[in-house]
Structure 1
Amino acid sequence: SWLGMKVQAVDMTELRRRIDQKIYDESELEMALAWADKNFRYGEDQNAQQYKRNAEQSRAVLKESLLMAMCIRDMMQGNKKLAEKGLVEESLGYNAIAAGFQGQRHWTDQYPNGDTAEALLNSSFDWNGVREPFVVATENDSLNGVAMLMGHQLNGTAQVFADVRTYWSPDAVKRVTGQPLTGLAEHGIIHLINSGSAALDGACKQRDAEGKPTMKPHWEISQQEADACLAATEWCPAIHEYFRGGGFSSRFLTEGGVPFTMTRVNIIKGLGPVLQIAEGWSVELPKAMHDQLDARTNSTWPTTWFAPRLTGKGPFSDVYSVMANWGANHGVLTIGHVGADFITLASMLR
């Protein structure tokens, strides 16, 4: 068990079986494809010519990516439609409140990656409209998945899974771009970016009562706000260097000035699970600066520029120290400054 919860390990071949044997609602697949055709904007393909896929091949990748989302969802919560096909056992699901998908590299070297499936499941909407987001951890990072689950249970919103990828100092930014960091970013920034599984809510195209960018619980999200998040997202062909089996990575840029709390659960030898918390804000950079810095990692992936709140002491003495003391290369963004709520929840789970 994990935090008193039952854990079910399922080999990825079960997902392959469900796709290959059509253990899904075929009418829903057609609806999902039509929805994607209407709403997906496709971004640049940065692959070398020999790795680019033609229209037919890209269509097959899209179809399988959507099927992955459907089948992972069905495995988590079940689907009565499968029972109507005589697949009673498969229709039950695992009654899961969180999940993860390993993917790399045993799956992704041959099959489309999990980016599209994870991005859509983690979001507050899909082809069925606005709905509660799922919790699905990239690379089956169960520790980050627990942090996602905590954040979702605390405020009901989608959670942004991200790599804690790069620290940019003010000096380095000035040297590379010729421009200074200002405002919330003046002490440096952390590039939060993964290959495209972050919840699309993370673009922050939803609005609070004051008209400011935010992420809201699904029961407060309008269809127009969901559409705005989709419109702010491009789907870029997966980079062959990382994903030989293809896929589509979501690309968006989080609006600036939004309060966030970054968390992660770590396991420490001799101590057990611990929770890391860093409150801060998203930052909006000048376009030319963003483009230059974004290209240093991968410009086909979603980006949040994060400026943690500093105290001048310990791990929060400067921005570099926040990243240097982070437990792993993954973290979760939860909307708002809710560190105190996380601390209370963690104390209840001791």
Structure 2
Amino acid sequence: MARIGVLAISDGRGHVHRRNTGFIRSKRDSFTAALEAAGHEVVVGDLVATNTVATAAAREVAAAGVDVTVFYYAVWSFPHFTMLAADATTSPLLLVASTDPAEPGLVGMLAAGGALDQIGRAHTRLWGAPDEASLIAEIGVRARAASAVASLRGSTFGRFGGRPMGMNTAVANTDQWMRQFGVDVEEIDQYELVLRAERADAAEAAGAREWLERLATVHYDGEKLTPELLERQIRSYLAVRDIVAERGIDFSGIKGQPELTENFATMDVTEAFLNDPYDWNGPKAVHVTATEADMDGALTMQLMHRITGTPVLFADVRHYHADRDIWDLCNSGQHATWFAARSADPAENLAKVHLYPEVFFFPAGGASVQHIAAPGAMTLARLTRLSGAYRLQLLQGDFESYDAATNAALAASSTPEWPHAFARLDVPAPTFLSTFGANHIHAVPGDFRPELRAAAELMGVRVEEWSRAG
């Protein structure tokens, strides 16, 4: 969840403040208790009834590293207290008014919000009873979005290799990333990955291969997929894991094509397990990694991961089955194995995973990590650029899975050795194909459109959202 700062703003007249203190504290305490019951950590500042307390309390709350700051209005409140407190904090601001008619909390919020408008300080206004479920949920949405956006600032993206196969949408302006999102880019040559893989722990690689042989289905063919090639892919994972730890990399992208895929091995196994919440050593943190070193794809995935805590799908928009109104989201790179069953138990996921020999595109060989994504409601999104300006393209959909014969037939119509997510999207195909700004798309289970809308607003990114109506 999130860390939320709360400052209750009062009337500046001493006798009025003394009269209202109990009422304000009662409302504020009910409000903070509801936030805590929803799983948030709450930092409560002193009750604001003077100029000096407005600044000091806001600074104290800001020093606690809150994701958002709530200014709470249970009564009429002097607006300049809000102005001083707002100046003392840089976190996103939520102005929340009690709707108890006994006191003019709404009046206090509107007066304060109007004053903030006059100086151009962005804020969001909400209102309701202090423990109203919809109010607490909306604050949670805003707080999770703010936490995710804040986590990007000061982070580092590890870019292994350069632009893949002339793919312009996979390359972003590093100055723009730093200015708009606070993200630095560390350039890492793929040759370092190769060298590190050759020196990686052979015993761990062999143990990992045996673990995969036990839990997944490995289709060795003696040529494009051998135990030695599978261990090379695992050693590549170990190499990236070590580089990421040494250089303080927060999320990554690996070019792969054509150098590694033609001369070393594909990165499919590496990317899948970097994105998984486990490996052969047990549970671990997800390390968001985009195939084809797709920078905007990785940034989208990192934002979605920070909001949800789950792995994030990376896929090509491969094919549209018009007869079924189903999209095949399929890519040779990572679909984290977690998507096979979305279970916390890796054995349950890997039971549905096949490691097939790589196809003719990739002469170096290795395993492709194949499965059919588990069904369920999904949020799909992608940060793309239009004339250099970022936009968040956003929609809802459902992953579907069918009987074994139908799944196999649908997969065989494209590339059966690769992972597939069969998706019914809430957008007409002509609209999507005419306006989507990339070949890669990303997804997480559930409906996180409200959080992504709020995150886009905080990042200064326009939202382009689709629905079935177009």
Coarse TM-score class (shorter-chain normalised): 0.7 to 0.9
Alpha-carbon displacement from aligned partner over 1:21-77 (angstroms, at most 9, x marks no partner): x1x3444334323323322312486xxxxxx618xx712101110001111111112
Cross-structure match for 1:344: 454
Cross-structure match for 1:209: none
Are 1:118 and 2:271 counterparts?
Answer: yes
Matches within 5 A, 1:97-116: 97-116=250-269
SS at match of 1:31: helix
Cross-structure match for 1:248: 367
Are 1:39 and 2:190 counterparts?
Answer: no
SS at match of 1:164: strand
SS at match of 2:318: strand
Q: One-letter code of the match for 2:300?
A: A
Q: One-letter code of the match for 1:145?
A: A
Alpha-carbon displacement from aligned partner over 1:188-224 (angstroms, at most 9, x marks no partner): 1111011141111111342xxxxxxxxxxxxxx3xxx
1-side partners of 2:387 and 2:259: how far apart? 29
Q: Contact conserved, 1:308 with 1:322, CA < 8 A, in 2?
A: no
**Structure 2 CA distance for partners of 1:324 and 1:247, relative to 1, 3 Å:** farther
Q: CA deviation at 1:160?
A: 1.1
Q: 1:53 aligns with which of 219, 223, 228?
A: 223
**Structure 2 CA distance for partners of 1:308 and 1:44, relative to 1, 3 Å:** farther
Q: TM-score, normalised by structure 2?
A: 0.57
2-side partners of 1:205 and 1:97: how far apart? 23
Q: Contact conserved, 1:196 with 1:251, CA < 8 A, in 2?
A: no
Larger radius of gyration: 2
Q: One-letter code of the match for 1:347?
A: E
Unaligned runs of 5+ in 1: 46-51, 78-92, 171-180, 182-187, 207-220, 310-315
Are 1:5 and 2:124 counterparts?
Answer: no
Q: 2:205 aligns with which of 16, 29, 47?
A: 29
SS at match of 1:299: coil
2-side partners of 1:227 and 1:306: how far apart? 25
2-side partners of 1:332 and 1:106: how far apart? 25
Q: 2:439 aligns with which of 293, 305, 329?
A: 329
Q: Contact conserved, 1:235 with 1:249, CA < 8 A, in 2?
A: yes
Q: 1:63 aligns with which of 221, 226, 231?
A: 231
2-side partners of 1:248 and 1:277: how far apart? 32
Unaligned runs of 5+ in 2: 1-173, 461-470
Q: CA deviation at 1:285?
A: 3.0
Alpha-carbon displacement from aligned partner over 1:313-342 (angstroms, at most 9, x marks no partner): xxx3x2342244221110111111111111
Q: CA deviation at 1:308?
A: 1.2
1-side partners of 2:346 and 2:403: how far apart? 26
**Structure 2 CA distance for partners of 1:35 and 1:289, relative to 1, 3 Å:** closer
Matches within 5 A, 1:267-346: 267-270=385-388, 272-309=389-426, 316=427, 318-346=428-456
2-side partners of 1:255 and 1:333: how far apart? 12
Q: Contact conserved, 1:135 with 1:148, CA < 8 A, in 2?
A: yes
Q: Contact conserved, 1:122 with 1:136, CA < 8 A, in 2?
A: yes
2-side partners of 1:44 and 1:124: how far apart? 26
Q: One-letter code of the match for 2:334?
A: S
SS at match of 1:109: helix
SS at match of 2:315: strand
**Structure 2 CA distance for partners of 1:196 and 1:103, relative to 1, 3 Å:** closer
Q: 1:75 aligns with which of 226, 239, 243?
A: 243
Alpha-carbon displacement from aligned partner over 1:155-208 (angstroms, at most 9, x marks no partner): 1001111111111112xxxxxxxxxx4xxxxxx1111011141111111342xx
Question: How many percent of aligned residue pairs carry the same amino acid?
Answer: 26
Over aligned residues, Cα RMSD in angstroms? 1.9
Q: Contact conserved, 2:197 with 2:238, CA < 8 A, in 1?
A: no
Alpha-carbon displacement from aligned partner over 1:78-99 (angstroms, at most 9, x marks no partner): xxxxxxxxxxxxxxx2211110
2-side partners of 1:159 and 1:33: how far apart? 24
Q: Contact conserved, 1:275 with 1:346, CA < 8 A, in 2?
A: yes
Cross-structure match for 2:300: 147
Q: Contact conserved, 1:167 with 1:320, CA < 8 A, in 2?
A: no
Q: 1:231 aligns with which of 324, 341, 351?
A: 351
SS at match of 2:385: strand
Cross-structure match for 1:138: 291
Q: TM-score, normalised by structure 1?
A: 0.76
1-side partners of 2:219 and 2:315: how far apart? 20
Q: One-letter code of the match for 1:284?
A: S
Q: One-letter code of the match for 1:327?
A: G
Q: One-letter code of the match for 1:8?
A: E
Q: Contact conserved, 1:167 with 1:323, CA < 8 A, in 2?
A: no
Q: Contact conserved, 1:43 with 1:300, CA < 8 A, in 2?
A: no
Are 1:169 and 2:169 counterparts?
Answer: no
